[in-house]
Amino acid sequence: MPARKPYTFEQFTAIRRYGLGSMSFSPDGSQIAYVVNTSGQFNLWRQSSAGGFPHQLTVFSDRAVRQVAWSPDGRQIAFTADHHGDEFTQVFVIPASGGQPEQLTDAPLSQHFLDAGPWSPNGRWLAFYGNDRDDHANMDVLARDMKTGDVRRILAGQALYAFGGWSPDGRRMLAVDVKSNTNQDLYLVDPRDGAHRLLTEHDGHVKYQPGPWAADGSGFYFLTDEGREFTGLAFYDVRAYRWEWVETPDWDVENLAGSADGRHLAWVVNEDGYSRLYVRNTRTGQLLTLPELPAGVQVNLVFSPDGGRLAVLWMTPTHCAEIYVLDLHRRSMTQITHSMLGGLDERDLSTPRLIRYPTWDGRKIPAWLYKPRGASARRKAGVILSIHGGPEAQERPLYIYSGMYQYWTSRGLGVLAPNIRGSTGYGKTYQKLIHRDWGGGELKDIEAAVQYLRTLDWVDPARIGIFGGSFGGFATLSAVSRLPDYWAVAVDIVGPSNLLTFVKAVPPHWRRFMDEWVGNPESDRDLLIERSPITYVDRIKTPLFIIQGARDPRVVKAESDQIVEKLRARGVEVRYDVYEDEGHGFTKRENELKAWRDAAAFLEKYLLA
């Protein structure tokens, strides 16, 4: 029998990508609405919750659908969408049976969000939040009367307010005051006049994230890390204005959903990167026995209206995201989407190993190591060090970057994906280490990662590359400019090169975070210059590929322009690709595939023996 040909790039990237926060049941539970890029752009689709053929509802080519919410009467679906990745999301509704979408907001240079069950229980009001006021520096909670079209501004001020969900009777709502990634407050709000009461008075940085209400309206579940390193699950009694713990694992509880009848409560615990799903019968207090999901990561969770089924969006290192529907009565599970289209045999793919390597201050850095088959002391391999964005995010065992880790290992390259300081999932102390220290301790963690790789007998120390997007792009530029002797090649995607110009150019509603997150452009000017990759541009000698979206509102194009200009003036090799119709990442499949193909080819040129 002839040897089987190796898989191609196209086979690894032949997947459907789903909007990670976008899934909604129809009121009768027969359908699920979600966002997927089957058409080449992220559009709104609906499908039978039992499986079957999906139906496309929107046909955008220039807009990307972001969030979805089915109306209580089942007649329409609300959604948000932006234009060419600019993140200026507007609110729309479309008939659930199909038709022409109606745009409900049209505020230039503004963002609008639909979260936490935005329809009032009677369907009269659609709640959302946005920064359409003044200089776009604040977020307000608003609600649209779906009969008259009038919009009520319910909660406004010098703050970033987010909608947190309606009470079961529609007479109250929750709102979140987002002060930073690690500090929030919850308010109980009267939607008629905006009267509100602070529920979470506290000192220091504490996370509060609202969840489902109890069916009788007595209170609501929420997530918090008050007094703890990790985020736990709690219940707030709005009659007594006090709360108590429900679950306090030694890992983060990271997602939460409740059935409308109050019988079932579901949550997910992030255990060292892997998701563990739990469902409790709130009347008996017993945990339900669930069908076994593959070892991986859960990214969305929603109950059917009758509470008998639970839809989850789940992915693993060897399989892209799929929607599964769990029947809680029958203890069965149905995979209703089938999104791996390239004919890959998962047995041929790499399951990463979780390792921990020592770093400069005695900490152990968790990292996922993908070893290519056949690599050995006799047959050494190049390795790509992949740095995640955020920075307050987490590298997890996923079919990530449209399968690029799996593609690289199939080509004979290893991947090390660390959770350097600032990552989530390891306690808030670890997460906050990145605050006001960009280009500091985490760069030493990256250096320690290289030193760890050099201890592996199958790694060729002369063939180590670095790759990252957003903050990972900043880390990549920091590495090649401040650790110039370590790298054979580097790829930066939408990474800031100059922290001083970066903090001045972020969206208006982000600027209040910058002082404690990165630094103040006036009082911390010297620090920002010292930590900026562009300050050390004359040291860069690594072959470098930079990818940028022209419409990026977070890391503006000037961040890439300025470092490319200085490198080219020195005659240093740098490839620079700008996508005119993209922002901070890719919404169009054609662009995404070209970028990954080009990045892969660039890395392979220098890392393959």
pLDDT of residue 573: 82
In this structure, are strands 297-303 and 274-281 parallel, antiparallel, or unpaired? unpaired
Whether the pLDDT of residue 76 is over 90: the answer is: yes
Give strand pairing partners of 369.
Answer: 353, 416
* CA distances from residue 173 to 120, 210, 535 in whole angstroms, order as listed: 9, 11, 48
Average pLDDT over residues 470-495: 98
In sequence order, what E strands does 248-379 have? 252-258, 264-271, 274-281, 297-303, 309-316, 319-327, 332-335, 353-358, 364-370
> Please, are residues 360 and 442 in contact by the beta-carbon 8 Å criterion?
no
Whether the pLDDT of residue 397 is over 50: the answer is: yes
Tokens 């850095």 appear where?
365
Average pLDDT over residues 446-453: 99
pLDDT of residue 5: 79
Confidence of residue 2 (pLDDT cuts 50, 70, 90): low
Average pLDDT over residues 286-300: 94
Average pLDDT over residues 110-121: 94
Whether the pLDDT of residue 216 is over 50: the answer is: yes
Confidence of residue 512 (pLDDT cuts 50, 70, 90): confident
Tokens 């079209």 appear where?
149
Average pLDDT over residues 486-499: 98
> Please, are residues 419 and 433 in contact by the beta-carbon 8 Å criterion?
no
pLDDT of residue 1: 46
How many H helices and E strands in the chain?
A: 10, 35
Whether the pLDDT of residue 459 is over 70: the answer is: yes
Q: At what angle do helices 441-453 and 471-482 cross, to 10 degrees?
A: 70
> Please, are residues 35 and 66 in contact by the beta-carbon 8 Å criterion?
yes
Q: Is 140 exposed, middle or buried (0-12, 13-18, 19+ CB in 10 A)?
A: buried
Instruction: Tell me the C-alpha distance between 76 and 96, whole Å.
Output: 5
In this structure, are strands 264-271 and 274-281 parallel, antiparallel, or unpaired? antiparallel
Average pLDDT over residues 139-164: 97
Whether the pLDDT of residue 609 is over 80: the answer is: no
Whether the pLDDT of residue 438 is over 50: the answer is: yes
Instruction: Tell me the C-alpha distance between 605 and 609, whole Å.
Output: 9
**Paired tokens of 179:** 């002060």
Q: Is 594 exposed, middle or buried (0-12, 13-18, 19+ CB in 10 A)?
A: middle
For residue 293, the tally of other CB atoms under 10 A from its CB is 17
In sequence order, what E strands does 328-409 have? 332-335, 353-358, 364-370, 381-387
Instruction: Tell me the C-alpha distance between 421 and 411, whole Å.
Output: 30
> Please, are residues 420 and 394 in contact by the beta-carbon 8 Å criterion?
no
pLDDT of residue 3: 56
- Give tens-digit pLDDT for 162-198: 999 999 999 999 999 999 999 999 999 999 999 999 9
Which domains are present in the chain? 346-607 (3.40.50.1820)
CA R_g for the chain: 24
